[in-house]
Amino acid sequence: MPIRIHPYRLPLKRPWVAAAAILTERRGWLLEVIDENGIVGWGDCAPLPSAGAAHQARCRAALERLAATGAVRLEDPPEVRWAHETAVCDAEAQRRKLPLARMLGASTLEVPVNAALGALDDPCAERARAAATQGYRIGKIKVGIAPIDVELTRLRQVAAASELRLRLDANRAWPEADARRFLDAIVDLPIDGIEEPLADPTCAGLARLQARLPFPIAADESLPRLGLDALIDARAVRRLVIKPARIGGVSPTLTLAQGARDAGIEVVLTSVVDSAVGVAAAAHLAAAIAPHLAHGLATGDWLAEDVAPPLPIVAGRLQLPDAPGIGHPPTARRAIHA
């Protein structure tokens, strides 16, 4: 089964700002897998820059070994395993003449998505107003960047500017006391949830916050360290935010999502300005896992250049192609480097 890797570099239209990092471009590799019938499947391997140069190097070395041997290993970085399984599933769904979402059991080819509003700066209120006019119902905002009192004022301005429900992502910004002060001050606002509020998250600390809030706390980057079972036992969160590339593939993501749902925990899939191929793969998975929740996959407009056009979003719902496989192969060869 021939395997080829294609590096890419995608500049952003504007910086993607979070509490601990600023992105100005996305770099990664498209993985091209050709099966015994000549069917081509695609996957996306895009480790975050925050993972560090050493992890980036491990991913590249694992991809080169995979291309040479055709075999993925359990100890390979999760982003590599995600790209490989995505490409294999893409080819298999094409062979079956089914969209990937249908092969995974989805009953729909569209998923709600939240508007990616960026950081909670002064223009955020105008971006929220624009997103509401485009049909979005939920807007996601990066918080924990400016002082708490400044962000509380800005958040009320955003809430007054539109009828969006607001999904907040703090990226581990605050000590517990600061998180409690911020969250207690916004319980009257239309908050959809808060992601990773604690700088040093523990199950007990998250549970203390969750018990006092009417909206979900979500675990994302703390999930691998704390573990799903411990989060469930402590009743620490009511939502998981899953990046499939961090989980290591389609199958492990489905297994994790099923375990969370069995415990009454919501599952939202998201990307960090991934390429159009990566977003499309995650959207097929989202349609199979939680087709009624808004997922964090509306990030294509942040890219000045992409490997393919973004999937269309109509009234806040991302439209998957009714075509075999992922149905969204790379087309913009200028963004892909030999």
Specify if 23 maps to a domain.
yes
Q: How many CB atoms lie within 10 A of CB 58?
A: 18
For tokens 């549970």, what's the residue?
A: 207
- Residue 38 neighbours by CB under 8 Å, 6+ apart: none
For tokens 């050709």, what's the residue?
A: 34
- Report pLDDT for 6: 95
CA distances from 4 to 71, 328, 337 (A): 13, 18, 12
Residues 24 and 135 in one domain: no
Q: pTM surpassing 0.85?
A: yes
Structure tokens at 122: 């002064």
Note the residue count of the chain. Answer: 338
**How confident is the prediction along the chain (338 residues), in pLDDT tens digits per residue?**
799 999 999 999 988 887 667 889 999 999 999 999 999 999 999 998 888 899 999 999 999 999 999 999 999 999 999 999 999 999 999 999 999 999 999 999 999 999 999 999 999 999 999 999 999 999 999 999 999 999 999 999 999 999 999 999 999 999 999 999 999 999 999 999 999 999 999 999 999 999 999 999 999 999 999 999 999 999 999 999 999 999 999 999 999 999 999 999 999 999 989 999 999 999 999 999 999 999 999 999 999 999 999 999 999 999 999 999 999 999 866 566 64
Specify if 330 maps to a domain.
no
Q: Respond yes or no: is residue 97 known to be catalytic.
A: no
- Report pLDDT for 334: 58
Which DSSP state fits 268? E
Residues 202 and 274 in one domain: yes
Q: Quote the crossing angle between the two packed helices 250-262 and 276-289, to the nearest 10°.
A: 40
Specify if 335 maps to a domain.
no
Cα gap 251→105, rounded to integer Å: 13
Candidates 6, 139, 143; CA nearest to 63 is 6
Residues 22 and 127 in one domain: no
Residues 123 and 91 in one domain: no
Cα gap 91→204, rounded to integer Å: 44
- Report pLDDT for 19: 63
- Report pLDDT for 17: 82
| Choice among 13, 97, 140, 142 that is catalytic | 142
Structure tokens at 63: 């991809």
Structure tokens at 193: 């949830």
Q: Respond yes or no: is residue 13 known to be catalytic.
A: no
Structure tokens at 72: 């993925």
Cα gap 4→156, rounded to integer Å: 49
Residues 85 and 183 in one domain: no
Specify if 225 maps to a domain.
yes
Which DSSP state fits 185? T
| Choice among 13, 97, 140, 243 that is catalytic | 243
Angle ∠(96,97,103) on CA atoms, nearest 5: 65
Specify if 67 maps to a domain.
yes
CATH code, 229:
3.20.20.120
CATH code, 42:
3.30.390.10
Residues 39 and 167 in one domain: no
Residue type, 58: R
Specify if 333 maps to a domain.
no
Domain closes at, from 62, 80, 97: 97
Domain span including residue 229: 103-319
Q: How many CB atoms lie within 10 A of CB 149?
A: 11
Residues 199 and 90 in one domain: no
